[in-house]
Amino acid sequence: MVELALRYQATPGGRIALWSDWGSHDPTKQIVIIVHGALRDARALSHWATRFQGTTDVVLLELPGHGRSDPIPSPTVVSMADHILSAVSDSFRNRKVTMVCESLGGLIGLEIAGRSETGPITNVIACDPPMTTAKLWNVQNNLLRILNDKTLNSIFKEEFSKIFWVFGKWG
């Protein structure tokens, strides 16, 4: 079991809670940020930190207004994406980041992936996003790009490509 410690990253709207085994971070490894869904917190997905231990640096991010993250004035998908992108960019600007996001987190991940500027985020894996809003993103082209991308870590293809929709964004 991985020992997770809490750190906060300030954003214009409040603090975002980030949980990780900070002492073991290796700047040469990819970071995987795991984002939970609505009405949950990082504990819901903490088992992934143990699963990927030694392979990547894993960070569990709590959505604004969830867990220990501060609430934001306007909790829309777009504003949550703004705050998360700010926190990730400030915390991990010199690292490659893959976001694995489930449910509402997946919807926010899709919003980030659809932007022209994604900071250090190079890939987004959206697990079970509420797809009734898929018309807001160019889903098909993002899916085709990531399935053809040779840089996506093979462990993620093995673990996720069979069961989840996978989306990517590259600068």
Residue with more model confidence, 161 or 81? 81
Q: What is the Rg, in whole angstroms, of the alpha carbon atoms belonging to the chain?
A: 15
Q: So what's the pLDDT on residue 14?
A: 95
- Tokens, residue 151: 């840089």
Q: So what's the pLDDT on residue 2?
A: 84
Q: So what's the pLDDT on residue 54?
A: 84
pLDDT digits (tens, 9 = 90+) for 9-59: 999 999 999 999 998 899 989 999 999 998 899 989 998 888 888 889 999
Q: What CA dihedral angle connects 47, 105, 80 and 61, to 10 degrees?
A: 10
User: Which strands, in side-by-side order, build the sheet including 57-61?
Assistant: 5-11, 14-20, 57-61, 31-35, 97-102, 121-127, 167-168
**Which of 63, 54, 58 shows the shortest CA–CA distance to 84?**
63
Q: So what's the pLDDT on residue 69?
A: 97
* Residue 143 host element (H or E): helix 139-148
Which backbone phi and psi does 39 adopt, to 5 degrees? 60, 25
Q: So what's the pLDDT on residue 162?
A: 42
pLDDT digits (tens, 9 = 90+) for 111-151: 999 999 999 999 999 988 776 554 454 544 555 555 566 55
Structural domains of the chain, ranges and CATH numbers in brackets: 5-168 (3.40.50.1820)
- Measured between alpha carbons, how far is 109 from 54 in angstroms, rounded to an integer? 25
Beta-carbon contacts of residue 75 (< 8 Å; ≥ 6 apart):
64, 65
- Tokens, residue 12: 């214009």
